[in-house]
């Protein structure tokens, strides 16, 4: 007889997104099982490295942000980007970026963007997960098949070590099985977008003492420009000897069996005198592809299984981290019984538009850096060559700036059409990819503000709903507290009387969800607090019927901080 394991949540795929779903559930004390067919050793082909400030904020919440900074990329490494015709050819431009330790602290977050290669980030998440009693993580376990019924999902899982099959019975299955997800395919969920923006071949290479072997200066990335445009790049993986060489081309040109990767690398180096060793190679397709559905009954889709985007900008995994945190509290709420019948549906309504937006921006970055650098004269030792390099340098600089300073993309996403946020009628601030202006307009990330005790406002959020009461007059919030209590919604009231904070949040009363997004704000307790609570916990009738916050209440309340 097959072994039977029961769990409320089965997460299939323990890549960075699956692991973050496990983290959020574990942090909430919710039972879950994660499986991955991989062996749990650091991945040979690390992809994600850029950790956005929002993902850093999540890591801060989970208590691992110091480890990301300590064990991630070396903090004193020069983060500049060089564009050149080859390492011994023309230097076209150099975009100066400071080492991580010298970054200017952004005013709108308690965290900065950071760099942590997947070879460190995934194991760090996996280790942290293991400290949660409620989480079980099994590597070398492959999902073979699954069946859904009215009350559960039954997954057939093969233990690759001993070739034994077991059944995992879960209330919900979260598909985090990456791009080309077999789970979405077997559900017949289609994707929309562009299947192939370009084809690339990655080679992970070791180059001991690289900086001493050329004169282009220290940098985290080198872009190689030929008459055909940007044809390759070299990116630091671990800040030591390991690098990733990416060759851009067509599907036919990049066929592994026909391609001499060593000679391509030598073309980029411009010399045979730089010794290197190829550790591994992998072809990949750059795409902009978004699943049409994020939920099918008891199955939820997250990370690359739901969306793929060009890595130009480094938004793929970070978008998946946003999925993880949106889903974590909703699954927890439903399993604990206070989440309403529509709460899990709001996951698609909130996260899919964000993926579409981020993927479009990433493709735009890619198009700019491809077209910016196309000039037949670029390698020539002539005045025309010089001019071509100047032009390429200028346009590449603009596109790289857009990638680096993408604060709006990273922090400014908001849940405009969410059925569980209550609009307050205020106009939407511009959705600028670079600029980010903090706003507590319902659906937005609740703004960061340093409190007198040294905490960030963000440190107040996470475990349940938080009602911020940001005024001196103490408006009576008893009706809201009682409505929350009646629905078993974890709810606390935090009093802070700081005028600047009130101005930043735009109202004296602001209701913040467990994921740190605002759900409602107003100048007085709403006249139907039970309806507000029902809407924000996914049990209400949606935004069209959302009650307005316009009526003062006189019921006394006890305040928890």
List interacting residues with ligand FAD (CB under 6 A): 12-18, 35-38, 47-50, 142-143, 176-178, 182, 284, 303-304, 311, 314-318, 320
Indicate the residue among 45 and 463 with the shorter CB distance to ligand FAD: 45
Report the alpha-carbon distance of residue 295 to residue 341 in Å, rounded. 14
* Shortest Å distance, C-beta 292 to ligand FAD: 18
Indicate the residue among 348 and 531 with the shorter CB distance to ligand FAD: 348
* Shortest Å distance, C-beta 90 to ligand FAD: 26
Other beta carbons within 10 angstroms of residue 398's beta carbon come to 11
* Shortest Å distance, C-beta 230 to ligand FAD: 14
* Shortest Å distance, C-beta 124 to ligand FAD: 14
Residues 6+ apart with CB under 8 A from 494: 460, 466, 467, 468, 469, 561
Indicate the residue among 7 and 318 with the shorter CB distance to ligand FAD: 318
Report the alpha-carbon distance of residue 80 to residue 276 in Å, rounded. 22
Q: Please, which contacts does 206-213 make with residues 24 or more away whose CB atoms are closer than 8 Å?
A: 206/241, 206/242, 206/243, 206/276, 206/277, 206/279, 207/241, 207/243, 207/274, 207/275, 207/276, 208/241, 208/275, 209/241, 210/241, 210/243, 210/274, 213/273, 213/274
Torsion from C-alpha of 67, 68, 73, 78, nearest 10 degrees: -110
Distances (CA, A) of 344 to 174, 299, 337, 340: 12, 10, 13, 8
* Shortest Å distance, C-beta 180 to ligand FAD: 9
Three-state SS at 223 = strand
Indicate the residue among 12 and 234 with the shorter CB distance to ligand FAD: 12
Three-state SS at 439 = coil
Indicate the residue among 72 and 464 with the shorter CB distance to ligand FAD: 72
DSSP state of 521: E
Indicate the residue among 16 and 229 with the shorter CB distance to ligand FAD: 16
Indicate the residue among 284 and 495 with the shorter CB distance to ligand FAD: 284
* Shortest Å distance, C-beta 110 to ligand FAD: 20
Residue 467: which of 332, 559, 555, 336 has the closest Cα? 559
Indicate the residue among 54 and 60 with the shorter CB distance to ligand FAD: 54
* Shortest Å distance, C-beta 221 to ligand FAD: 11
Q: Structure tokens of 42?
A: 């650091």
Q: Structure tokens of 333?
A: 């709420």
Report the alpha-carbon distance of residue 274 to residue 468 in Å, rounded. 59
Indicate the residue among 157 and 460 with the shorter CB distance to ligand FAD: 157
Q: What is the C-alpha radius of gyration for the chain, rounded to an integer number of angstroms?
A: 25
* Shortest Å distance, C-beta 320 to ligand FAD: 5
DSSP state of 437: -
Indicate the residue among 304 and 348 with the shorter CB distance to ligand FAD: 304
* Shortest Å distance, C-beta 321 to ligand FAD: 8
Are the beta carbons of 122 and 46 closer than 8 angstroms?
A: no
* Shortest Å distance, C-beta 176 to ligand FAD: 5
* Shortest Å distance, C-beta 391 to ligand FAD: 27
Q: How buried is 179 (Cβ within 10 angstroms: 0-12 exposed, 13-18 middle, 19+ buried)?
A: middle
Residues 6+ apart with CB under 8 A from 127: none
Are the beta carbons of 117 and 127 closer than 8 angstroms?
A: no
Indicate the residue among 38 and 548 with the shorter CB distance to ligand FAD: 38
Residue 48: which of 75, 76, 20 has the closest Cα? 20
* Shortest Å distance, C-beta 287 to ligand FAD: 10
Indicate the residue among 16 and 464 with the shorter CB distance to ligand FAD: 16
Distances (CA, A) of 551 to 523, 525, 554: 9, 6, 10
């Amino acid at each position: 007889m097959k072994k039977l394991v029961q769990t409320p949540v089965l997460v299939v795929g323990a890549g960075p997104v699956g692991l973050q779903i496990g983290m959020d559930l574990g942090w909430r004390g919710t039972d879950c099982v994660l499986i991955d067919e991989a062996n749990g050793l650091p991945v040979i082909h690390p992809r994600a490295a850029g950790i956005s400030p929002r993902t850093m904020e999540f890591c801060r919440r989970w208590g691992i942000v110091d480890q990301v900074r300590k064990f991630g990329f070396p903090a004193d490494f020069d983060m500049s980007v060089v564009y050149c015709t080859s390492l011994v050819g023309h230097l076209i431009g150099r975009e100066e970026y400071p080492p991580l330790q010298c970054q200017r602290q952004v005013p709108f977050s308690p965290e900065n963007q950071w760099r942590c290669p997947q070879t460190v980030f995934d194991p760090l998440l996996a280790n942290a997960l293991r400290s949660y009693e409620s989480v079980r993580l099994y590597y070398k376990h492959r999902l073979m098949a699954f069946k859904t019924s009215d009350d559960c999902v039954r997954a057939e899982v093969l233990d690759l070590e001993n070739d034994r099959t077991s059944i995992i019975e879960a209330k919900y299955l979260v598909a985090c099985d990456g791009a080309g997800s077999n789970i979405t395919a077997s559900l017949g969920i289609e994707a929309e977008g562009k299947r192939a923006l370009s084809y690339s071949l990655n080679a992970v290479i070791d180059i001991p003492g690289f900086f001493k072997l050329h004169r282009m200066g220290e940098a985290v990335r080198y872009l190689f420009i030929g008459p055909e445009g940007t044809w390759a790049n070299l990116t630091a993986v671990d800040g030591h000897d390991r690098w990733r060489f990416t060759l851009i081309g067509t599907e036919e040109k990049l066929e592994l069996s026909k391609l001499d990767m060593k000679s391509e690398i030598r073309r980029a180096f411009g010399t045979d005198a730089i010794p290197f060793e190829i550790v591994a190679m992998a072809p990949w397709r750059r795409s902009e592809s978004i699943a049409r559905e994020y939920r099918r009954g008891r199955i939820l889709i997250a990370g690359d299984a739901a969306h793929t985007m060009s890595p130009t900008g480094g938004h793929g995994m970070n978008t998946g981290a946003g999925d993880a945190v949106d889903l974590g509290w909703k699954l927890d709420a439903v399993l604990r019984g206070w989440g309403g019948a529509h709460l899990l549906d709001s996951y698609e309504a909130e996260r899919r538009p964000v993926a579409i937006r981020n993927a479009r921006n990433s493709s735009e970055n890619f198009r700019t850096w491809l077209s910016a650098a196309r000039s037949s004269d670029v390698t020539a030792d002539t005045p025309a060559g010089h001019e071509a390099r100047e032009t390429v340098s200028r346009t590449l600089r603009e596109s790289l700036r857009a990638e680096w300073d993408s604060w709006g993309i990273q922090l400014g996403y908001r849940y405009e059409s969410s059925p569980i946020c209550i609009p307050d009628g205020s106009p939407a601030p511009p959705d600028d990819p670079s600029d980010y202006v903090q706003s507590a307009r319902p659906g937005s990330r609740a703004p960061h503000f340093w409190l007198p005790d040294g905490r960030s406002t963000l440190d107040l959020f996470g475990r349940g709903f938080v009602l911020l009461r940001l005024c001196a007059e103490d408006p009576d919030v008893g009706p809201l507290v009682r409505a929350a209590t009646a629905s078993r919604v974890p709810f606390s009231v935090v009093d802070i009387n700081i005028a600047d904070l009130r101005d930043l949040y735009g109202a004296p009363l602001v209701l913040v969800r467990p994921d740190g997004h605002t759900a409602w704000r107003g100048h007085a307790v709403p006249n139907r607090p039970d309806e507000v609570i029902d809407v924000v916990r996914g049990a209400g009738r949606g935004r069209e019927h959302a009650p307005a916050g316009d009526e003062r209440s006189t019921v006394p309340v006890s305040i928890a901080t």
